Structure 1
Amino acid sequence: MDKTIWYLMESSVMLACLYALYVLVLRKETFFMLNRFYLIGIVLFSLIFPFLSFDFNPAPVAKIPIQEISKARTSYYDAFADWTYVQTSTAPIAPSPSLFSEINWIEVALWMLIAVYLIGVVVCLSRTVLTMQWIYGLIRRHSQALFDNIKIVKLKNPMAPFSFLNYVFVHEEMIGTTEFDHILAHERTHVQQLHSLDLIFVQLLAAFFWFNPVIWRLIKSLKTTHEYIADNNILNEGYSLVQYQTLLLRQLISNNSYGLVHNFNLSFIKKRITMMKNKKSGGFGKVKVAGALAFTIVFSLVMIQCNSTTDEAEVDNTGLASSFELPKVQDVGYTKYLGKNYNIIPFNITNSQVYQKSTPTAIKDIESALQKANIQSDDIVLLEINKNQTMGFVREVQDELRRLNQRKILYVSESESGKLIETAILLPPLPGDDRPGVPQLPKIDEEYIAKTGIDILKINLGEDAGKTNQDLVNAMVRKHIEMGSTNYCVSAKFEDDDTYDSYLRNLIYIMEGFDVIYQERASEMFGVNFFELDKNNPTELAQYQAIRKGIPRAISIAEK
Structure 2
Amino acid sequence: MDRFLIYLLESSLILVGFYLLYHLVLRPETFFSLNRFYLITILLVSLIFPLLSFDFGTDELPAVKAPILEVSQARKAYYDAFELWSFDHLSGNVVSEVTSVSIWSGINWWQLSQQVFVVIYLIGVVVCLSRTFWTFRWVFGLIRQYPLQKMDDLTLVKVAYPIAPFSFLKFVFVHEVMIGSTEFDQILAHERTHVHQRHSIDLIIVQLLAAFLWFNPVIWQLIKSLKTTHEYIADNKIMNAGYSLVEYQSLLLRQLISNNSYGLVHNFNLSFIKKRITMMKNQKSGWSGKVKVALAIASTIVFSVLIVQCNSTMDETSIIENESSVASIEAKGVNLPILPDVPFYSYLPSEDAVEITIVEDKITLDDEDVQVVDMALSVAEKITEQGIIILSVDAQQPMKLVRDVQTELRRANRRKVLYLGQTTTGKIMESAMLLPPLPGAPNEHGVKLPEIDAAYIAKHDLHILRVEMGEDRGVTVQQEVYDFVTSEVAEERSNYVVQAKFQDEDSYKSYLQNLAYIQEGFNQIYQERTQSMFGKNFMDLNKEVPEEKEQYNAVRKGIPRAISISEK
TM-score clears 0.5: yes
Contact 1:162 1:261 survives alignment (8 Å)? yes
CA distance in 2 between partners of 1:477 and 1:56 (Å): 55
CA distance in 2 between partners of 1:132 and 1:190 (Å): 17
Q: Give the equivalent residue in structure 2 for 1:342.
A: none
For residue 300 of structure 2, the aligned residue among 296, 300, 312 is: 296
1:288-437 mapped onto 2 (5 Å cutoff)? 288-319=292-323, 327-328=339-340, 347-348=346-347, 356=349, 363-364=353-354, 428=436, 437=445
CA distance in 2 between partners of 1:203 and 1:226 (Å): 15
1:61 to 1:242, Cα distance in 2 relative to 1, 3 A: same
Determine if the alignment matches structure 1 residue 213 to structure 2 residue 248.
no
For residue 251 of structure 2, the aligned residue among 232, 242, 247 is: 247
Contact 2:440 2:451 survives alignment (8 Å)? no
Q: Which moved more, 1:136-145 or 1:463-472?
A: 463-472
TM-score, normalised by the number of residues in structure 1: 0.71
How many percent identity over aligned positions?
51
1:189 to 1:542, Cα distance in 2 relative to 1, 3 A: closer
Q: Give the equivalent residue in structure 2 for 1:369.
A: none
1:212 to 1:439, Cα distance in 2 relative to 1, 3 A: farther
CA distance in 1 between partners of 2:485 and 2:192 (Å): 85
CA distance in 2 between partners of 1:398 and 1:33 (Å): 77
Q: Which moved more, 1:470-479 or 1:215-224?
A: 470-479
Determine if the alignment matches structure 1 residue 52 to structure 2 residue 52.
yes
Determine if the alignment matches structure 1 residue 556 to structure 2 residue 560.
no
CA distance in 2 between partners of 1:134 and 1:288 (Å): 42
- Match for 2:136: what amino acid? M
1:12-62 CA deviation, whole Å, 9 max, x = no partner? 211111111111110010000011111111112222202322213333222
Contact 1:31 1:281 survives alignment (8 Å)? yes
Q: Give the equivalent residue in structure 2 for 1:465.
A: 473
By how many angstroms is 1:86 displaced? 6.7
By how many angstroms is 1:133 displaced? 0.7
By how many angstroms is 1:165 displaced? 0.8
CA distance in 2 between partners of 1:38 and 1:402 (Å): 70
By how many angstroms is 1:490 displaced? 2.2
For residue 191 of structure 1, the aligned residue among 195, 208, 232 is: 195
By how many angstroms is 1:8 displaced? 1.8
Determine if the alignment matches structure 1 residue 18 to structure 2 residue 18.
yes
TM-score, normalised by the number of residues in structure 2: 0.70
Q: Give the equivalent residue in structure 2 for 1:280.
A: 284
CA distance in 1 between partners of 2:109 and 2:31 (Å): 52
1:463-520 CA deviation, whole Å, 9 max, x = no partner? 21357757987799999x99x99697624459783268613454158759x97xx9xx
Determine if the alignment matches structure 1 residue 63 to structure 2 residue 71.
no
Q: Give the equivalent residue in structure 1 for 2:74.
A: 72
Contact 2:413 2:437 survives alignment (8 Å)? no
Q: Give the equivalent residue in structure 2 for 1:497.
A: 508
1:110-125 mapped onto 2 (5 Å cutoff)? 110-125=114-129
CA distance in 2 between partners of 1:53 and 1:542 (Å): 44
Q: Give the equivalent residue in structure 1 for 2:161.
A: 157
> Per the alignment, in what secondary structure is the counterpart of residue 312 of structure 2?
helix
Query: Structure 2: where are the runs of 5+ without partners?
Result: 328-335, 356-384, 424-429, 535-546, 548-552
Contact 1:97 1:544 survives alignment (8 Å)? yes
> Per the alignment, in what secondary structure is the counterpart of residue 441 of structure 1?
coil
> Per the alignment, in what secondary structure is the counterpart of residue 155 of structure 2?
strand
> Per the alignment, in what secondary structure is the counterpart of residue 346 of structure 2?
strand
> Per the alignment, in what secondary structure is the counterpart of residue 183 of structure 2?
helix
1:122-133 mapped onto 2 (5 Å cutoff)? 122-133=126-137
Contact 2:469 2:510 survives alignment (8 Å)? no
- Match for 2:197: what amino acid? Q
Q: Give the equivalent residue in structure 2 for 1:37.
A: 37
> Per the alignment, in what secondary structure is the counterpart of residue 508 of structure 2?
coil
Superposition RMSD on alpha carbons, in Å? 5.4
CA distance in 2 between partners of 1:406 and 1:152 (Å): 84
By how many angstroms is 1:116 displaced? 0.5
By how many angstroms is 1:544 displaced? 10
By how many angstroms is 1:437 displaced? 3.3
- Match for 1:13: what amino acid? L
1:90-112 CA deviation, whole Å, 9 max, x = no partner? xxxxx997587823333222211
CA distance in 2 between partners of 1:145 and 1:412 (Å): 73
Q: Give the equivalent residue in structure 1 for 2:550.
A: none
Contact 2:467 2:498 survives alignment (8 Å)? no
Contact 2:497 2:562 survives alignment (8 Å)? yes
1:463 to 1:159, Cα distance in 2 relative to 1, 3 A: same
1:439-518 mapped onto 2 (5 Å cutoff)? 439-442=447-450, 444=452, 458-466=466-474, 490-493=499-502, 497-498=508-509, 502-508=513-519
CA distance in 2 between partners of 1:450 and 1:402 (Å): 27
> Per the alignment, in what secondary structure is the counterpart of residue 173 of structure 2?
strand
Determine if the alignment matches structure 1 residue 143 to structure 2 residue 147.
yes
By how many angstroms is 1:273 displaced? 0.5
Contact 2:2 2:83 survives alignment (8 Å)? yes
By how many angstroms is 1:434 displaced? 5.4
- Match for 1:61: what amino acid? A
By how many angstroms is 1:301 displaced? 1.5
- Match for 1:68: what amino acid? E
> Per the alignment, in what secondary structure is the counterpart of residue 156 of structure 2?
strand
Contact 1:163 1:262 survives alignment (8 Å)? yes
CA distance in 2 between partners of 1:325 and 1:40 (Å): 50
1:361-403 CA deviation, whole Å, 9 max, x = no partner? 88349xxxxxxxxxxx99xx9x9x9998999999999999999
By how many angstroms is 1:119 displaced? 0.5
